[in-house]
Amino acid sequence: MHLLGSYYVSQPAFAHMREAGYGRLVMTTSAAGLYGNFGQVNYSAAKLGLVGMAKSVAQEGAKYGIKSNAIAPVALSRMTEGLMSGAMAKAFLPEAIAPVVAYLAHEDCALTGEVLSAYGGHVGRCLCR
């Protein structure tokens, strides 16, 4: 689901964006994909695959005005709710990630082929080459 789900949505979207001469794709990866995580080999592999897909789409889309990036969020979710509590949990609400995704999807965003990490009010560029 993590890799193929994004592929099956992105492929037809790319065709429409190519015709329009404009588009923005934002893939969601994770720290498990970027750095690995014990017990999550399949999840980690799929999430790193999304980085490769985002970077390849960025290259293929450049001549059509299509930009593609990935975000690696750390946020309170069903998957992480038992790991954070109190003030820490409040700092990692998904609402802190949404503005970064909105920026990457915005027409004024010049970034393409990038991976941004976002968590607790911080945003950083991941060096994935």
Query: Catalytic amino acids?
Result: 43
Pair 91, 121: CB distance under 8 Å: yes
Q: Which domains does the chain have, with CATH numbers?
A: 2-6+15-126 (3.40.50.720)
Q: Where is pLDDT greater, at 7 or 86? A: 7
**Type of residue numbered 50:** L
* CA–CA separation, 53 and 3 (whole Å): 9
- pTM value is 0.91
pLDDT in tens, 87-110: 777 778 888 899 999 999 999 999
Residue whose pair of structure tokens reads 């588009």 in the numeric block: 23
pLDDT tens digits for range 4-37 = 999 999 999 999 999 999 999 999 999 889 999 8
